[in-house]
Amino acid sequence: MRARSLSPAWRLAILAVLAVTVQIGLLSQLTVFGVPPDIGPLVVAAVGLLLGSVPGAVMGFFMGLMVDTALLQTLGIDSLLYIAVGYGAGRLRELRDPDGTLVPLGVGAAATAVTVIGFSIFEFLLGVDAPVSWLLLREIVVTVIVGTLLATPVYAIVRRVLSSALPDDPRRRRRRAYTTGGLSPLTRMRG
């Protein structure tokens, strides 16, 4: 089976397995500014930005479930947070047509912040013994900064993997027709 003939669902499944494997097997062993980089929310946000809210939420659920299962954590915490990230990034795509080059940076920062802060709150509410101090705040800020720096490369990789499966957005097609000399609805009415 050639890579071009894979359906979008298979591409997302392979992407999820590879992202979780790289995250747990490689990136969890590295530290950047004292924190391990987390590409999970960045991959989910990129899928939401590229495919929409429903594929982003579904990808978030399954990636979160894989992470929770692999790390033997409380099931559902990462899934819930990744669903929110994927759905939010997808809604941004559907409502605002984010086509700027800085959009992946902002979405990556927001996705990382939502997951890190949300995970900390859930762990605190579930009664996990973890010290709450200024070091936790420092770790959250540094994790968001590292996530922001990794957002653009992760977005580019996800876009490359999903390139042939991306839907054609009618708003972009319409905008291109106007700027390239295509007929606008106003000129069709006059003629």
For residue 67, what is the domain's CATH number?
1.10.1760
DSSP character string of 39-50: -HHHHHHHHHHH
Q: Answer whether residue 2 is part of any domain.
A: no
pTM: predicted TM-score of the whole model, two decimal places: 0.81
| Count of structural domains, the chain | 1
Residue 43 banded pLDDT, cuts 50, 70, 90: very high
Two structure tokens written together for 63: 């990636």
Q: Answer whether residue 44 is part of any domain.
A: yes
Domain residues for the domain of 167 are 7-190
Amino acid letter, residue 61: F
Q: Answer whether residue 107 is part of any domain.
A: yes
Q: What pLDDT is stored for residue 62 in this prediction?
A: 95
Q: What pLDDT is stored for residue 163 in this prediction?
A: 83
Three-state DSSP state, 39? coil
pLDDT surpasses 80 at 182: no
Q: Answer whether residue 1 is part of any domain.
A: no
Amino acid letter, residue 4: R
Q: What pLDDT is stored for residue 178 in this prediction?
A: 47
**Paired residues of 78 in beta bridges:** none
Q: Answer whether residue 78 is part of any domain.
A: yes
> Any residues with CB less than 8 A from the CB of 37 and at least 6 apart, and which?
27, 30, 146, 147, 150
> pLDDT > 70: what percent of the chain?
82
pLDDT tens figures, 127-178: 777 666 788 888 899 999 999 999 999 999 999 998 876 766 544 544 444 4
pLDDT surpasses 50 at 116: yes
